[in-house]
Structure 1
Amino acid sequence: MSVTEGVLPPITTPMDDNGNIDYDALRAHIDRLEDAGVHGIIPCGSTGERATLTREEHEQVIETTVETASTTVLAGTGASSTEEAIQLSQHAADVGADGVLIIYPYYSWPSNEHVVRHYEAIADAIDIPLVIYNIPKRTARNLEPDATVRLAEHPDIAGIKESAGDINQIYELLRRTHDMEFDVLSGYDSQALSTLTLGGTGITSVAANVFPETVCELFEAAREGELERGRQLHEEILEIETAMNLQTIPVAVKAALDIVGVHGPHVRPPLYEADQDTREKLEDFLDDREPA
């Protein structure tokens, strides 16, 4: 599949008791997800705690993911600095990533006019597809549809992970880019079914870290037009998404993965491990479910 099709989980970055990255656990997590049927892997996204990884760690996580994965690797390489994003993206391309996922620059707070130039500069500097990542709640800026459509004209910008939380904006993007080589992926599990049935091509699913088979079933149901089955799975995924958001992502996600025996719950400050109340709620939630 392409870098914009199917279920692509933004994966957690496993860490040990001392806060060091556990690369063996990372490899095992990737293998587990691929065995469950995901179509690609996204390392170094928000769920992967990109903001607190060192440059060396960032590059090593991407290298390890490329070495381990047999599916598409869409590497998170966004940064506040255009030059840093170019360097990270070039490294990802050099080590074999299939594409890069670039968040709207945080903290710098560029206008839409300026961010178009930012994305174009990165796309011009690399030879693999670029996917835009729009998530206003983390960047304080929304990439408006007019700017997205302009970027869709670039031959090396393949699509957008749309996490504005606005289904009307998703529909507008799908409508206006319908005849262009540009895809729209759902950035939220809760909007996955709607996005796919409206014409979207993929799900960048946090829930798939814990329940990959369920999310893959939803994708297949939507693709096959089995809307009643899709609706039932959507209800399940809404419950999963609520559980994964009991604390800031990926705190509850890692706690859930620890409970089901995938990898430890450790996160890196300024995030801290899930409190006892959250763990108890997750244990109750997971008690009647069997993640892949």
Structure 2
Amino acid sequence: MFRRRQAEPEPPGFRGLWAAAVTPHRRERHEADHAAMLELVDRLAKSGVDGIVLLGATGEFINVKPEDRQRLLHLAIKRSRVPIIAGVSHSTLDGAVMLAEAAVDSGAVGLLLMPPYFYRYTPEDIGEFYRLFAIAIGGALPILLYNIPAFTNAIPIELARELLTSGDFAGIKDSSGDPDYLNALLAIEAPHPLSILCGNDRLFADALRNGVSGAVSGVACAVPELMLALFHAIRSNDATAAGQLESEVNAFIDWIDRFPVPVGISAACEARGDKVGPPAIPPNAEQFDSLEEFKNWFASWLPFVLNLHARSLT
């Protein structure tokens, strides 16, 4: 049974720039590294992002044991100086509810839930999954739908509209990369304000210009300074700065798209001194060489980006 925390006011909605964090792993048995996660949370919180999202696709949740997911969330939420949204995606309804209960108890500000993954489900199945999850949560925390068809069943726009206008969901993180889908989300008229969050970094700039509430960014885990500078340039209508910054974002994405998710982002974090550990699957010889080339590029590119960020603050 979930209990709403009566002493706390209702969250005003999810806005601004949220960093989608990787999950550091130890070198032995690919186990989650709790201490390294806390250090990463410290860096991201100090960077100026509005919040952190843990255990989404960038967080490689599928490679983290359920008990470790609960422990990571608990430790990170207690440590963080910015709000944390908890990824509670699971292949079963019971599993998602179990993870949500731990997130509520730990003090997360919201729950991020993709449709059940691996097996194919109909839109009717997905809708019922979300409705039953909302009933189980009982309003204990705001729920964000998570549309990421590259890795699981898509949420058709008709179903997204139905769920988002039901009053049971706070919004959606759309990682589809489909601008038409995102624009359709922005056109939804709901009885309560919705948080429409862009989860695709290539669409980040245009999505902000078109009026999304904010973004959940994997790039912001590696270089939050770049995404913050772009965010502020767009919000201040500085088209010249925004154009330059958007070009740098795309240059970074061009690199990381050469690797499986989230290998490139983790490699960039490692180049910054984060203890991220090895990827779940060791790179082949060609990929290893490409990763080393990327790290060298990143090391020479990062000072330029940090300078752009510093200039954006003056």
Per the TM superposition, whether the score is higher than 0.5 is yes
C-alpha offsets along residues 100-121 of structure 1, whole Å, 9 cap, x if unaligned?
Answer: 1001211232211221121122
Residue equivalent to 2:98:
87
Which structure 2 residue ranges, 5 or more long, are not aligned? 1-10, 307-314
Aligned pair partner of 1:45 in 48, 53, 56: 56
Aligned pair partner of 1:246 in 249, 258, 263: 258
Displacement after TM superposition at 1:63 (Å): 0.8
Residue equivalent to 1:194:
206
- C-alpha spacing 1:229/1:217, structure 2 compared with 1 (3 Å): same
Q: How does 1:133-172 map to 2 (within 5 A)?
A: 133-139=146-152, 141-172=153-184
C-alpha offsets along residues 141-175 of structure 1, whole Å, 9 cap, x if unaligned?
Answer: 32111111111123341111111111011111101
Aligned pair partner of 1:259 in 271, 281, 284: 271
Of 229-238 and 272-281, deviating more is 272-281
Q: Does 1:129 align with 2:142?
A: yes
Question: Which 4+ residue blocks in structure 1 deviate beyond 6 angstroms?
Answer: none
SS in 2 for 1:47: coil
Displacement after TM superposition at 1:29 (Å): 0.8
Residue equivalent to 1:12:
22
SS in 1 for 2:59: coil
C-alpha offsets along residues 177-216 of structure 1, whole Å, 9 cap, x if unaligned?
Answer: 3774212111111101111111101111111111101111
> How many Å separate the matches in 2 of 1:212 and 1:41?
11
Q: Does 1:99 align with 2:110?
A: yes
C-alpha offsets along residues 259-286 of structure 1, whole Å, 9 cap, x if unaligned?
Answer: 2212244123xx2256122222331233
Letter of the aligned partner of 1:283 in structure 2? N
Letter of the aligned partner of 2:294 in structure 1? K
Residue equivalent to 2:196:
184
> How many Å separate the matches in 2 of 1:249 and 1:81?
23
Letter of the aligned partner of 2:183 in structure 1? Y
C-alpha offsets along residues 37-66 of structure 1, whole Å, 9 cap, x if unaligned?
Answer: 111111111111111111111111111111
SS in 2 for 1:15: coil
8 A contact 1:3–1:99 mirrored in 2: no
Aligned pair partner of 1:65 in 70, 76, 81: 76
Structure (1 or 2) with the larger CA radius of gyration: 2
* Residue correspondences, number: 289
Letter of the aligned partner of 2:71 in structure 1? Q
TM score, norm. by length of structure 2: 0.86
Aligned pair partner of 1:280 in 293, 296, 305: 293
% identical aligned pairs: 26
Aligned pair partner of 2:244 in 222, 232, 237: 232
Aligned pair partner of 1:74 in 64, 85, 88: 85
Q: Does 1:221 align with 2:233?
A: yes
> How many Å separate the matches in 2 of 1:5 and 1:47?
19
> How many Å separate the matches in 1 of 2:191 and 2:249?
31
SS in 1 for 2:150: helix
Q: CA RMSD in A?
A: 1.9
8 A contact 1:99–1:130 mirrored in 2: yes
C-alpha offsets along residues 7-43 of structure 1, whole Å, 9 cap, x if unaligned?
Answer: 1112111122213322221111111111111111111
8 A contact 1:128–1:156 mirrored in 2: no
Letter of the aligned partner of 1:14 in structure 2? P
SS in 1 for 2:185: helix
Displacement after TM superposition at 1:3 (Å): 5.6
Displacement after TM superposition at 1:224 (Å): 2.7
- C-alpha spacing 1:100/1:3, structure 2 compared with 1 (3 Å): farther
C-alpha offsets along residues 91-141 of structure 1, whole Å, 9 cap, x if unaligned?
Answer: 1111111111001211232211221121122122221001111111111x3
> How many Å separate the matches in 2 of 1:99 and 1:13?
19
Residue equivalent to 2:3:
none
8 A contact 1:251–1:272 mirrored in 2: no
